[in-house]
Chains A and B, each alone.
Chain A
Amino acid sequence: MQITFWGVRGSYPVPGAATVRYGGQTSCVEVRAAAGEALIVDAGTGMRALGNKLLQEATQAQHHHVLLSHVHWDHIQGLPFFSPVYIAGTRVSIYALLTAADELHQVIGGITRHEFFPMSLEAVPAQFEFHQVEPGVDFDIGAFHVMPIALNHPFGSVGYRVDADGSSWAYIADTAPFDRVLHKQHFLAGPEALSEDDRLALGAMRDALILRLQGVDTVVYDTHFTEEEYRRFPHYGHSTPDQALEICVAARVRRLVLYHHAPSHGDDQMDRLAAEYLRKGAGVGVEVLTSFEGMTLPIGPDAERQLA
């Protein structure tokens, strides 16, 4: 199995000279099994370039499977620009955490309402199917075994552990850490005091995450903030590289990939963060890489064989 990053930015796309090397498009990762089967995780703006590549490669209309962490704009905005959907015969299965698949249909359809986009979902030639996922309830998509994991983000978010070809990786975005703020179904103007139940809920979420990450080769993690930024915005629903590293050490993960970079983090700052956390990770036995647009990672343990 291997993964390729098509969008690594958080919140909104950031053009310009400061993002040329790490990339400015938002969340989108392509997953490939050894036999060629594909999965897409998140439908941020990086999905446009992925769609153009898939369309070039394809000899016939495909069935695309898209796992969504949640439906904030930066994770779904690429869908209307995913060129395969304009080819008749294309099928798109979308998986997300919502109370019902029907609601998901409305939410995804909502981004192409006439106010927002010239062509409605119903008018698009591709056929869409919607699937509700539930943390703790595993499912299979072809060669991939998918395990949804509850995360701590405003109005809910879900991570995924994906196993295939005897290797595994996990996508943990978007999430806040599991100590200071418990995100629920309302707007937070600032951190709210935690009740005893909130603390228990956070502890249970962290335990379940670590349990699911046991033995995973590579973890892609929301590390939007620096420590200093997190202290100012602990209620925004994102983590830092230190918080991600702490989880990976607890779960004995081999490799951590920093992901969902803040829009304000230019290439030079990303270089410094990459170097700092490569060093910090080495100190605790975790290889820390920093994702950039176009990066392809073979997923262990049989990485060498797949590369060949």
Chain B
Amino acid sequence: MTTVDTNPVPSLLERLFTECVEELTRFFTRRHGVGEKARDLVQETFLQMARSLREGKAPQCARGYLFGIARHLSHAAWKQREEDDKVLPFDPMTAETAAPTEDDRVEAARETIAALEPVQREILDLRFAQGLSYAEIAEALGIPIGTVRSRLHHAVAEVRHRFETEKH
């Protein structure tokens, strides 16, 4: 008896889950720490993605769209936490560094990046920590791809400027 596979090609959601579950876990862990919260947010992201696909949404860049959902959920979770704990809004300039370093150059780069616009810091994180392409970042943040490119170039130029100023 021959069994017929009714779904030989995994659906978009299954494929995204296979490809992106680890990346999304890393995305939320970097923002919310290791634990239940990050896992819940990963699940919620895929649930929202499934809902969007069921409603007929056909994103041009599925991975970028998925990270766009993740970003919104992360912001909402932070907002909720600030309201629950009555904590001050996060300020990257005064935040304690997660991993103290001996390297002055990295510290100077951290300070430079912390002074950049929030969207620029998000672009850097999505690129370097999550490995998203310019197109995927543009989809996730809802901004033109040219803006992603120019903001990233500008950020690197700022780091270089700071580095070279301190060297002299």
Whether chains A and B associate is no
